[in-house]
Structure 1
């Protein structure tokens, strides 16, 4: 399946109606969350269910199946299931049947249930209520109920509301829309994004089948060859058959961060000017003052600008990653990348430890998103992405000439391999490129065969980067 996004051309009356429907769906979402929290609390206080849970953790495989069925039966008996939530919200949904359809209400119940599943079966801590301004998508289940998209007129009809989509503006857009709409429509969602002048609305059409392939990329993606990718928290090193690349992920990120920081400082000044009694003489918040906070129209305008800046930052990261993926797939048909646990790297360090964490860098560069986009793009063109075993491979420690592993500190960015000094990340990418088929360790024969060509490309790239002033000492080593 794939999606097609079309902007909706709306007037003031339609935007007012859409805003009303988003408020209704946000209310329905919070009703479902409140119900789920109540039922989860009931589970945590039920001694019989907790006894089943304890026995499940200390039982064998066959016993676990029976205990799991008992726990599932108990949850369903109190209404804590996807169908139970859908049945519970029917009464609330009927009150707003002129605004939202039954399938949209059911889809929202399904979304809340996914959050419940994370709390029950995964690492989820608790459910969250949503503010109206944070609720940005109304889902669907079919193209015959709720928001219905019409291929011929490029429009959405939704419970008496007619919404026209913006027509494609250039040949590429016309071609992509035409090719996408050849597939059958599964369902249509309505999404909104914040801009400085308010909300903009979009139709997200979910279609069956694969996304159209761009002819230029499809022709070039046939070139055979291996590519090794060493991805860090903020940089990426790529070694292919014909070139090597060492660069930052989302290199213009600092521009967006500076813009966000400026807006935050303006918001802080505006908030302090409107609430002088809320602050002490040293600038800290006066906790004893219980009066209501006052927010000026200027502050509200800045808040919209802040949300817009965050949206632009997110869109830039994704676009930058997509462009890099498009370049990579033109020169290779096999990709080797380390299997990284980025979620573990973003967690806060425990008190009393000096272990470095990378939460800010991961937020700014999104390396996990790059890997997922590369997999998505490779699958589209029939290419392969192999995730090597980080524990057994240890690319940053290996020396293929001496066949030894040597630990090095994070700040050491250069390694001596034989008589050559090589950049650590590029050498790791070189080893990944020459991985064995199982992805367990580097193939020394392949490494020896291509090491000379690698060092020549490596030196040429480093010289060019230094000449162009592209440097980042802490990551590149120069």
Structure 2
């Protein structure tokens, strides 16, 4: 599967699309609140307290089995541990399912409290499609389940900011994607938003529309430097994109490693032992521009909010009100626009590198590092290391150069050609 993004000409209908995002955001907020409420009810239920107490019994049995030296007693303790473990596992499953918080991805969109009532009203007015609401519900539950797997998490979801709510997804509405533009509305009363093609977009889109099936499509909005929403359509096709051959051009096994220290992709051909480096650290001066905007934003924030800082320059603790001047908003919009350019430039470079790699072999082995571990902030201990030595944490570089984004893209392109693909994570 791959995605084609096309800009839309929405002149005269910005309020129409803004209304869809406004009500979509309200649904998203209601969904987050629903799952948080269900989690709170689950934790405070008598069944949860009972199971939590029996988990202590399970841990006690496990400790006794480790400490005892009598083989018969150890065998009995292990048998009791296994039986209690299976019983508790089933108990947790029943408890989670009773609150709609089971591990399955299925979500009954008719039983989501206030969110279901809101959806029925919005759907009757033709504002929100059922597939959009279902997609939001599934994504919200995935976020909850991800937090529940984290050991130290409180399992509480945060409501996203309105400006970060940027995409509405649709499926089983393929008739809305036409050669002329994106179509909205009921039969006989259509609104068509024409596409704005750039470079080879029209060729790729026409090729895909004539030969391939549409899996999903989404409406995406992006703030420009003037704080105005710009809209585009994301069309997800289910086959090989235009320009990709049906099979690899060359044979052989290629080992691809991500070098964090040099911020480069290294490929090694197993047969010829030929090494090729692809630089991913070349930011074309973007990092310096970002640093400039960060500095100016901090200066503007301090000048406009002097009462929010201590004498030593640190931010005061507690609830504060921040004043954002016109100059601050202008700088913020310019920084946001620069980030869009960075992401687009990085994406184009990654596409080119990944395409060169998949066309030069029929098997790929990726050796990657634990990026999440590298991004964790390391505490500075002046007795053991100086400040320069503590720069082992590479969070900023990893965020800026996004090596994992490249690996995901490489895996996707390898699937187009049916290449053998495997990954190995280095542990430090």
Same fold at TM > 0.5: yes
Q: What's 1:9 paired with?
A: 9
Highest RCO, 1 vs 2 (Cα 8 Å, sep ≥ 6): 2
Q: What's 2:107 paired with?
A: 83
8 Å contact kept, 2:2–2:241: no
Q: Tell me by how many angstroms 1:286 deviates.
A: 5.2
Q: Tell me by how many angstroms 1:272 deviates.
A: 3.0
For 1:168 and 1:67, how far apart are their aligned partners in 2? 58
For 1:77 and 1:373, how far apart are their aligned partners in 2? 39
Within the alignment, does 1:263 sit opposite 2:284 as a pair? no
Which of 259, 272, 294 aligns to 1:232? It is: 259
Within the alignment, does 1:322 sit opposite 2:351 as a pair? yes
Q: Secondary structure, in 3 states, of the residue corresponding to 2:215?
A: strand
Q: What's 2:172 paired with?
A: 142
8 Å contact kept, 1:345–1:357: yes
Cα distance change on mapping 1:16 and 1:336 into 2, 3 Å: same
8 Å contact kept, 1:52–1:67: yes
For 2:107 and 2:358, how far apart are their aligned partners in 1? 43
For 2:375 and 2:281, how far apart are their aligned partners in 1? 18
Which of 258, 264, 279 aligns to 1:248? It is: 279
Q: Deviations over 1:201-249 (max 9, x none)?
A: 1112233x3132415x668x32123323232222222233485323532
Q: What's 2:122 paired with?
A: 96
Q: How many residues align?
A: 382
8 Å contact kept, 1:250–1:321: no
Q: Tell me by how many angstroms 1:75 deviates.
A: 2.7
For 2:218 and 2:83, how far apart are their aligned partners in 1? 42
8 Å contact kept, 1:86–1:110: no
Cα distance change on mapping 1:50 and 1:367 into 2, 3 Å: farther
For 1:195 and 1:86, how far apart are their aligned partners in 2? 37
Cα distance change on mapping 1:278 and 1:122 into 2, 3 Å: closer
Q: What's 1:212 paired with?
A: 241
Q: CA RMSD in A?
A: 3.3
Cα distance change on mapping 1:388 and 1:271 into 2, 3 Å: closer
Q: Tell me by how many angstroms 1:73 deviates.
A: 2.9
For 2:9 and 2:278, how far apart are their aligned partners in 1? 39
Q: Tell me by how many angstroms 1:130 deviates.
A: 0.8
For 2:352 and 2:82, how far apart are their aligned partners in 1? 47
Q: Tell me by how many angstroms 1:347 deviates.
A: 1.8
4+ residue runs of structure 1 moved beyond 6 angstroms? 56-63
Q: Deviations over 1:274-303 (max 9, x none)?
A: 334444555444558x77332122222222
Give unpaired runs (5+ residues) of structure 1: 395-478
Q: Tell me by how many angstroms 1:91 deviates.
A: 0.8
